[in-house]
Structure 1
Amino acid sequence: MYLILIFLHSVIRWLVFASLIYATYRGAKGWLTKASFSKTDDAVRHITATFSHIQLMVGYILYFNSPFIAYFLSHFREAIKQFEFMFFGMIHISLMSIAIVLITIGSSAAKRQETDLDKFKTMTIFYSIALLLILIAIPWPFSPLAARPYMRIF
């Protein structure tokens, strides 16, 4: 089960990442050009939030089933001294959870705005901040924080 969760988490992250970049782009473009908020914009907003919620659920299930995290939690005083354990045990999950909360708030607030300009502005601001947090918290292969491959395969 653990390997399936790792694989799903790896695949879904690209859906979240791509949809978040696209939603942020559409939001910024609509905000700058004062476009009307179309059904497509609303669908992109909604799909981005949905992908992020699915990823969060898979991530939490993975977190609480990971032998890596089990070691971190049971040997906290020793594990906290090793940055990779601290990254996955605390930093990654915290920043990603905050990012998903921002996406959720941004999606919900954008949906409830009165004007199209405010919808785009709200979506762009919240999604941009979430994107920044996600970029920081992803364990990129080149990252000095915790390197992982671009795609985890069984």
Structure 2
Amino acid sequence: MYDVVKSLHSYWAYLVLLVLIIATVNAIIKTLGDKEYEANDFRKSLFTLIVSHIQLLIGLVLYFVSPRLELWSELGGKVMSNSIARLYLVEHPFVNIVAVALITIGYSKHKKKLTSKAKLKTIAVFYTIALVLFLSRIPWSTWMG
């Protein structure tokens, strides 16, 4: 089960990054270009919200079926002094949960805005921060290898 969930989490991450980049770049370009907010912009931000939440659920399942979880018992507080264990058990989950929360907050806040500029700027800011957070905590050596 672990290998299946790990593969699903890895491949779904490509989709999350792709749609997050599309939604973010779209919002930035339209904000800077003073363009109107359209139904397609709503769909992009909503699809990003959905796929990121699915990734979060897959990640939570992976966390609890992972053999790495046993490192908490073996290392205890020394998890923080082991860079690999810290990345997989603390940094990656925590930072990515924060990133998904920012996507959720940005999506919710943008719906309450009344002007196109305000809607697009809200998506641009929150989704950009989430993208930076995602990119900062991807275990690149194992993900791309």
Report TM bin, short chain: over 0.9
TM superposition shift of 1:45: 0.3
Letter in 2 for 1:29: I
**Could you say which residue in structure 1 is the equivalent of 2:132?**
132
Q: Superposed, which structure 2 residues align to 1:94-133 within 5 Å?
A: 94-133=94-133
Corresponding position: 1:29 with 2:29: yes
- Whether contact under 8 Å (1:19, 1:48) holds in the other structure is yes
CA distance in 2, matches of 1:109, 1:45: 12
- Whether contact under 8 Å (2:5, 2:62) holds in the other structure is yes
**Could you say which residue in structure 2 is the equivalent of 1:150?**
144
**Could you say which residue in structure 1 is the equivalent of 2:44?**
44
Greater helix percent: which structure? 2
Letter in 1 for 2:82: Q
Letter in 2 for 1:30: K
Corresponding position: 1:79 with 2:73: no
Letter in 1 for 2:5: L
Where does the alignment leave 5 or more consecutive residues of structure 1 unmatched?
A: 142-147
- Whether contact under 8 Å (1:27, 1:121) holds in the other structure is yes
What is the RMSD computed on CA atoms of the aligned residues? Answer: 1.3
**Runs of 4+ residues deviating >2 angstroms:** 70-75, 77-81
CA distance in 1, matches of 2:20, 2:35: 19
TM superposition shift of 1:74: 4.7
Letter in 1 for 2:143: P
Q: What's the TM-score, normalizing by structure 2?
A: 0.95
Number of residue-to-residue matches in the alignment: 145
Q: What's the TM-score, normalizing by structure 1?
A: 0.89
